[in-house]
Amino acid sequence: MNPAYSSPIFQPPYNTWTPEQILAYYQARADIHYFPVLDSEQTRPEKIEGILANCFDFNHERYQLPTPFDWTINPSRDKEWLILLHKFYYAVGLGAVYQSTKVACYVEKWLELTSSWIDTVPLDFLSSDVAGRRIQNWIFAHYYFVTLEPVPQVSPEFYLKFLISLHRQLCHLRQNLTPARNHRTIELYALFLAAVVFPELDGAAEWLEFSRQELLKNMQTDLLADGVQCELSTDYHHLVLKNYLNIRRLALLNHIPMPAEMDTLLKRALDFAMYVHKPDGWIPSLSDGDSRSFLDLLAQGYQLYGDEAMLYVATQGQQGRPPACRSKAFPVSGYYILRSGWGNGRNAFTDEQYLIFDCGPLGAGNHGHFDLLSFELAAYGQSLIVDPGRYTYDESGETNWRALFRGTAAHNTVLVDNQNQTRYAFHKTRFKVRGPEPKRELKAFMSCAAFDFLHGVAHSFEYDVVHERQIFFVWPEYWLISDILLAPEVHHYDLRFHLSDQADQKAELTVERDTLLVYAPHLVLAQAFSPDIKPGIEEGFISRTYGVKQSAPVVSLARQAANAVYHTVLHPYHAERPEISVAEIPVTWGSRVCPPSEAFALCITIAANGRRFKDYYFKADPALRREYTWADFTYSGSLLLLRQDAAGNTLNLQTQPSANRNYSSMSFRPKGEISEADNDIWHLIKDKR
């Protein structure tokens, strides 16, 4: 030992150890437990092979960089490319490939890139969250190149240089933390991870205690009362949840006590993750983010908490028990998720129907899209009506794709006068929200065995139109979307449905049986024909992954009016396409024909699989409590759903409680054929007859 040697980054006695002793210590140490986290996209084998030749591929843009290259120069016009270069995900990939192959070029490339970054990049280059993610990835690479076994190419001199830089980055990060939200989560995770893996570093004890307490505060402020992350992006929710779960697992491995409330908050966040995954195992990309699968997080949740429902969804129905609820409300975030089942009935897990409805705020930060009352629909393993995703954060070029993908026109709602629901305008260097977000109200959410019902209201400050959307999940077999628009003056309305890229060049618009129909793969869209609606199929785009967009058709149903109503049937199908017709039925109260904002009725005829049904649907304002007449019915309730067979026999009837019913010419099946769940309704019908 050299008695004159001293390293200020270590606590005693490690501060007097030589570089050789330090490296040998960390290569042999066995009492600290941690695990690497690989980003599946950034560590794909072909990307790692490209890195060996300085060919860097981020966000589907590939650039060949010289040796050496300037870390501060971005070859792409998109800043996100440079950010990914500095996050060092590829370092973990190099480590993983080295451990499986023991080929020296992978460790040599890690040494080269890490040394180059240390020698040339200022600590304050790019934002703190980039530093946080880089610190994590450096430690994960350290797992492969130092912790698992001695690697001959890692010299004591390089290792000390690596630790000194890591310490400097951590000290800088500790003083420059982002105040809130997902970036702060990343940064606190980096401090916690470093403190656990390198407790010998000067400051590690303070980083550990600080991050323990601040992580709880971060969760308390960033996770809403219903468990959804406050930025209200389905993708960011899971990225944040992934960080929290890694922290919790790391604490358990090293017997570090964490506040009990952390587990309560984590379970709520996992609950949303469980319901928001579509039956195919992917999440919808609502607001900024990509569409991908996070079922592995539910598996981790099961390992932590033993929740059989998490295991059931993680394994897509192969293990565990189904969640308690078929459909679920997350009222603080404004997300409402309806599904036909969990694969424990007549459909397989992946064939179940699913809809997620947005009746919430824009969300904290700058990731919200202008999509109030929009939804995404999936069935039979296919996403049929889709949210477009984010595509890019870059606003340069002839087309501002960032603004287009964020706008109201890119979502499944009604576009009014070609305006966004929230004012979005260029300010200084980029487009920003420049006005208040719309008022919103969820007026009803009902879920029972025979149907689900949602009723949301949006009132934008950009125009004098009130938009009410009612979503009815019938039986549950298909969907009825009723859009009611009320305004004192005439406006241009455009009801838009964005189909999947699988429907590209395959969507067909026609009129049959006085019904406007759109045929697309595994979906029929139907409305009662109205001459004042101008239907069309436009070119649109969706993006499941950052930087990649696919062509996808958009159904446009435009009209000029002050008050307007659209009733749209969305009928998914597996193999045989159903034959559908839709008719609007006048509703009267006394001698007055009611406007649809007060009451409306529909007759939906469906022929499929050798059977034909007529479904009658009636909906009225529940506050008015009037007796309405329509078709053969006199009815004083606010909701009625009735199914008849081809002979006119009633097969099922559903109402809300305490409704008075009169029927003038309806025939019914014998009581024995009515299901047990319908017995009470049958008694009421029989008494009236």
User: What are the tens digits of pLDDT across the range 524-582?
Assistant: 999 999 999 999 999 999 999 999 999 999 999 999 999 999 999 999 999 999 999 99
Final residue in a domain of this structure, among 117, 151, 178: 178
Residue 126 inside a domain? The answer is yes
Strand 667-668, strand 649-655: pairing = parallel
User: What is the Cβ-side half-sphere exposure of residue 597, based on CA atoms within 13 angstroms?
Assistant: 11
Residue 162 inside a domain? The answer is yes
Where residue 20 sits, what CATH number does that domain have?
1.50.10.100
| E-state strands within 326-420 | 328-330, 335-339, 354-358, 375-379, 382-385, 414-416
- CB of 507 closer than 8 Å to CB of 555: yes
235 backbone φψ class: left, alpha, beta (φ>0; ψ -120 to 50)? alpha
> Which residue, chain included where needed, has tokens 């004159």?
4
Residue 34 inside a domain? The answer is yes
Residue 460 inside a domain? The answer is no
Mean pLDDT value across the chain: 94
Output the pLDDT for position 675: 38
Residues recorded for the chain: 689
Q: Which residues contact 13 (CB under 8 A, 6 or more apart)?
A: none
Output the pLDDT for position 659: 53
Burial class (CB within 10 angstroms; exposed 0-12, middle 13-18, buried 19+) of 590: exposed
Which range of residues forms the domain containing residue 606? 586-689
Output the pLDDT for position 658: 55
Final residue in a domain of this structure, among 178, 213, 248: 178
For residues 374 and 190, give the distance between their C-alpha atoms in angstroms, rounded to a whole number: 36
For residues 384 and 572, give the distance between their C-alpha atoms in angstroms, rounded to a whole number: 8
- Comparing CA positions, the residue from 572, 573, 496, 577 lying closest to residue 540 is 496
For residues 26 and 18, give the distance between their C-alpha atoms in angstroms, rounded to a whole number: 13
For residues 73 and 2, give the distance between their C-alpha atoms in angstroms, rounded to a whole number: 42
Residues of the chain with pLDDT under 50: 1, 663-689
- CB of 393 closer than 8 Å to CB of 78: yes
Q: At what angle do helices 295-305 and 234-253 cross, to 10 degrees?
A: 40
For residues 584 and 579, give the distance between their C-alpha atoms in angstroms, rounded to a whole number: 17
- Residue 661: what are its φ and ψ, rounded to 5°? -130, 140
Output the pLDDT for position 656: 77
Residue 688 inside a domain? The answer is yes
Final residue in a domain of this structure, among 153, 178, 203: 178
- Comparing CA positions, the residue from 377, 374, 272, 285 lying closest to residue 325 is 272
pTM for the structure as a whole: 0.94
Residue 246 inside a domain? The answer is no
Output the pLDDT for position 633: 87
Residue 157 inside a domain? The answer is yes
- Comparing CA positions, the residue from 334, 479, 470, 460 lying closest to residue 408 is 460
Residue 274 inside a domain? The answer is no
- If one counts the domains in the chain, the total is 2
Burial class (CB within 10 angstroms; exposed 0-12, middle 13-18, buried 19+) of 40: exposed
- Comparing CA positions, the residue from 139, 143, 58 lying closest to residue 96 is 143
Output the pLDDT for position 272: 98
* Cα dihedral across residues 627, 629, 635, 637: positive or negative: negative
